[in-house]
C-alpha cells in the first residue's frame, strides 16, 4: 500500500494529484523551484522540498534531484503528472532503481512511445525523409514531449531549415531532448483521442473519446467528451487502434492515444504515456477518478468490475494568462482574484494574490462543466466563465466564452483550423459594457470621498478617463445634495465595491475592484488614465518593445544596426513560459538600433529594436 506520494511536477496537476491523495489518506510531498517557493502546490503539500533554481532545466527537469527529494522526504511513490519528466523513461527507471513505486507505465512502454518517431514505426507508419515541394505543407514536430512545444507548420521549402532549428531549440528547452521529425500536415482535421486504462493483469479499458480540436499554437484550449458526431464505425476503429497501441507495448496505467480525423479516416498521431491535461472530462462522463485508478494500478490491483458506462457530456476550457488578440502573448503579474461560480469543476494551481511568473506555462485553471447533453454542457460552461471573476493580467476568458457560443462549435463542425479562421472575429470589436467606465468612476469617487463631496454652489462635473477594449472613454458625474448623479443614468447605489445604476428603468449591478490603475467592473477590465498624459512616455517611431517578460535567446544571424530589413522578417526570438516568440520587423526599412544581447532578460516594454521605415 502506498502511504506517501511525491508529485514530480508543479501547479495545477500537482494540486490535482494531491487532492486525490488526501481523499485516500496518502501523505503528499511537493518539489518546488525558487520561483515556486510560495506556489499553491508548495503550500498545500504535507512536505515540500526545494529544487535550487528557477528554470525548468535547473529544477523540474532534474530527475536526479527529484529522486533524492523523494528519498529524503520519506515518500514511497512518485507521480509524474504531465509535462516535464512524465514521459522520460530514464527518470522512471531512476525512480524504480531507488526502491520507489512509479505511478505510471513501465519504462519500456514509455521508451517505445515517448519518441513519436518510434511510436509511428510501431504502428506501421514512418516520418518523412527528404522533404520536397510535393510534400508541403509539413509539420515539424518534437520527438519527445507535447503541449505544442517544438512544433512548426512549414508551407514553403525555404522556411524548413529555420523551422527545424527553432523546433529543436524549443524542444530541448522544454523537454531536454532536441530531436525533431517531419510528417505530412493534415489541414482542417479534428483532433480526437481515446483514453486508455490498463492494469498489470492484462485488462485494457478504453474510456470513450475526447475532441480537442480547438487549439492555439498546437496547444489545446477547449476539450470535450465524448467527441461529437463520430460515426459508430469510426469510433470502434479508434478504440481498436488504441487497444492495439496499448497492448503493443504492454502498457500499464493511464494513457491516451491521439488521432487526427479527416475525410472520415483516423490518422495516428502519438500515444501519450501519462495523464492528459484534459482527463477531467473523461472523469465526469464515466464517474471515475483516474488518479485514484493510477494509484490502485501501481499498487497491483486489477481494474474493478466492468467498464463503467458513460453518462452525459462534459466540456473543459483552459483559462490562460494570455492575450489572444496579440499573438497569444503570455501575461505575467499578480492574480488578484479568481472566483468561479458553483456548479462547475475548477482545477487550478493558483489562489488570490499569487504571482504568474515567466518561467512556466501560462495556464491558470481548467473549468469543467458536465450535463446530460452537449448543448447543456456548453451553455453551463459558457455561463460560468462569463460570471467568473478573474482579476489581474489579461486572460483568454472572453475568447473562451465566445468560442463556446460560436455557431460552428455548437454545431460540432469545428476542426484544428478553427482559430485560424475565426480569431479576428472572436477578438476584434468584442462588445464591451458601455456603462463600465461610469461604474468605475462612481466607485472611485465614493471610495475616495468620505463625506459625499457635494457643494452648496453649482460646480463643474467631475471627469475621469479610462481605456477599455482599446478605446478611450471619458465619463462625467457630479456630487449633489442627493448623492452622485450622472447624465442620463440614475445612480441607485455607489460605494467602493458596488455600483447600482438604473438604465431605461432597469437596475443593473456592477461589482468593482481596483488594483492600482487597473479596474475590474463585472467581467470588463479597464485602465484608469491620468488627466494629463506623460509626454516622456512616448517611444520613437518603429520601436519594437517586449510584449512579455522573457529572455532573448536568439538574434537573426548577421543582423546589426544599419542592416536593411523586410516587413515580417524575424529580428530576434524571446523565450517566455517555455515557448519561443518571434519579434519581427513591422515594415520594410532599416534597423537603426538593437540594444539587447542574447541571454539578456527583459521586462514588458523593454526596447528591443528600432526599425526606421523606408
Q: Closest Cα partner for 163 from 176, 146, 145, 181? A: 181
Judge whether 330 and 362 are in contact, CB under 8 Å: yes
Judge whether 154 and 136 are in contact, CB under 8 Å: yes
What per-residue string of b and e applies to 163-174 under the rule 16 or more CB within 10 Å gives b? bbebbbbbbbbb
Q: Which of 149, 152, 216, 274 is catalytic?
A: 274
Please report the DSSP string for 3-51 in residue order: -EEEESS-HHHHHHHHHHHHHTT-EEEEEE-STTTT-HHHHHSSEEEE-
Judge whether 548 and 328 are in contact, CB under 8 Å: no
Q: Is 3 left (phi over 0), alpha (psi -120 to 50) or beta?
A: alpha
Instruction: Work out the end-to-end distance of the chain between its first and last CA atoms, rounded to an integer number of angstroms.
Output: 71
Own/partner long-range contacts of 1-4 (Cβ < 8 Å, ≥24 apart): 1/299, 2/26, 2/76, 2/77, 2/101, 2/103, 2/295, 2/298, 2/299, 3/27, 3/76, 4/28, 4/29, 4/73, 4/74, 4/75, 4/76, 4/77
Three-state DSSP state, 250 = coil
What per-residue string of b and e applies to 44-82 under the rule 16 or more CB within 10 Å gives b? bbebbbbbebbbbeebbbbbebbbebbeebebbbbbbbb
Q: Closest Cα partner for 103 from 285, 279, 255, 304? A: 255
Judge whether 41 and 349 are in contact, CB under 8 Å: yes
Residue 274 catalytic?
Answer: yes
Report the C-alpha gap between 181 and 270 in whole angstroms. Answer: 13
State the Cα torsion 316-322-324-325 to the nearest 10°.
Answer: 160
Report the C-alpha gap between 501 and 543 in whole angstroms. Answer: 43
- CB neighbours of residue 295 within 10 Å: 24
Residues forming the active site: 274
Amino acid at each position: 500500500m502506498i502511504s506517501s506520494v511525491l508529485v514530480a511536477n508543479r501547479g495545477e496537476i500537482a494540486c490535482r494529484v494531491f487532492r486525490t491523495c488526501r481523499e485516500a489518506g496518502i501523505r503528499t510531498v511537493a518539489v518546488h523551484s525558487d520561483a515556486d517557493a510560495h506556489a499553491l502546490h508548495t503550500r498545500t503539500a504535507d512536505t515540500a522540498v526545494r529544487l535550487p533554481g528557477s528554470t525548468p532545466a535547473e529544477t523540474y527537469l532534474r530527475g536526479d534531484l527529484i529522486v533524492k527529494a523523494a528519498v529524503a522526504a520519506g515518500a514511497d511513490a512518485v507521480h509524474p503528472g504531465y509535462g516535464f519528466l512524465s514521459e522520460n523513461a530514464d527518470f522512471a527507471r531512476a525512480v524504480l532503481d531507488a526502491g520507489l513505486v512509479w505511478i505510471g507505465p513501465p519504462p519500456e512502454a514509455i521508451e517505445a512511445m515517448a519518441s513519436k518517431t518510434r511510436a509511428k514505426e510501431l504502428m506501421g507508419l514512418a516520418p518523412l525523409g527528404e522533404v520536397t515541394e510535393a510534400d508541403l505543407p509539413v509539420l515539424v514536430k518534437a520527438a519527445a514531449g507535447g503541449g505544442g512545444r517544438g512544433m512548426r507548420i512549414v508551407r514553403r521549402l525555404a522556411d524548413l531549415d529555420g523551422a527545424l532549428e527553432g523546433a529543436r531549440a524549443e524542444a530541448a528547452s522544454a523537454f531536454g531532448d532536441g530531436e525533431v521529425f517531419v510528417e505530412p500536415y493534415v489541414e482542417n482535421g479534428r483532433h480526437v483521442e481515446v483514453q486508455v486504462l490498463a492494469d498489470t493483469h492484462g485488462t485494457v479499458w478504453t474510456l470513450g473519446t475526447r475532441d480537442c480540436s480547438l487549439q492555439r499554437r498546437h496547444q489545446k484550449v477547449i476539450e470535450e467528451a465524448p467527441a461529437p458526431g463520430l460515426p459508430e464505425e469510426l469510433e470502434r476503429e479508434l478504440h481498436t487502434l488504441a487497444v492495439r497501441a496499448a497492448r503493443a507495448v504492454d502498457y500499464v496505467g493511464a494513457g491516451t492515444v491521439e488521432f487526427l480525423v479527416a475525410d472520415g479516416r483516423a490518422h495516428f498521431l502519438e500515444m501519450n504515456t501519462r495523464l492528459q491535461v484534459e482527463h477531467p472530462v473523461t472523469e465526469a462522463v464515466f464517474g471515475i477518478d483516474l488518479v485514484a485508478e493510477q494509484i490502485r494500478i501501481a499498487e497491483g490491483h486489477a481494474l474493478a468490475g466492468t467498464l463503467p458506462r458513460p453518462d452525459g457530456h462534459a466540456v473543459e476550457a483552459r483559462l490562460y494568462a494570455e492575450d489572444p488578440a496579440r499573438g497569444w502573448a503570455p501575461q505575467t503579474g499578480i492574480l488578484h482574484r479568481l472566483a468561479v461560480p458553483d456548479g462547475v469543476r475548477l482545477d487550478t494551481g493558483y489562489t488570490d494574490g499569487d504571482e504568474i511568473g515567466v518561467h512556466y506555462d501560462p495556464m491558470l485553471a481548467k473549468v469543467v462543466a458536465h450535463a446530460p447533453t452537449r448543448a447543456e454542457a456548453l451553455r453551463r460552461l459558457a455561463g460560468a466563465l462569463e460570471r467568473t471573476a478573474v482579476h489581474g493580467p489579461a486572460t483568454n476568458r472572453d475568447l473562451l466564452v465566445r468560442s463556446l457560443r460560436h455557431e460552428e462549435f455548437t454545431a460540432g463542425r469545428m476542426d484544428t483550423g478553427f482559430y485560424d479562421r475565426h480569431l479576428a472575429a472572436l477578438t476584434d470589436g468584442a462588445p464591451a459594457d458601455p456603462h463600465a467606465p461610469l461604474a468605475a468612476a462612481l466607485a472611485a469617487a465614493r471610495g475616495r470621498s468620505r463625506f459625499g463631496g457635494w457643494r452648496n454652489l453649482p460646480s463643474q462635473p467631475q471627469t475621469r478617463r479610462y481605456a477599455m477594449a482599446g478605446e478611450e472613454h471619458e465619463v462625467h458625474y457630479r456630487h449633489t445634495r442627493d448623492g452622485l448623479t450622472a447624465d442620463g443614468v440614475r445612480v441607485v447605489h455607489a460605494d467602493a465595491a458596488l455600483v447600482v445604476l438604473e438604465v431605461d428603468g432597469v437596475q443593473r449591478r456592477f461589482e468593482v475592484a481596483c488594483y492600482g490603475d487597473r479596474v475590474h467592473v463585472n467581467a470588463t477590465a479597464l485602465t484608469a488614465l491620468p488627466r494629463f498624459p506623460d509626454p516622456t512616455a512616448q517611444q520613437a517611431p518603429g520601436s519594437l518593445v517586449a510584449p512579455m517578460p522573457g529572455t532573448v535567446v536568439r538574434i537573426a544571424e548577421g543582423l546589426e544596426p544599419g542592416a536593411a530589413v523586410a516587413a515580417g522578417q524575424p529580428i530576434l526570438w524571446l523565450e517566455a513560459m517555455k515557448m519561443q516568440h518571434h519579434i519581427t520587423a513591422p515594415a520594410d526599412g532599416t534597423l537603426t538600433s538593437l540594444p539587447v544581447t542574447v541571454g539578456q532578460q527583459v521586462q514588458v516594454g523593454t526596447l528591443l529594436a528600432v526599425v526606421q521605415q523606408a
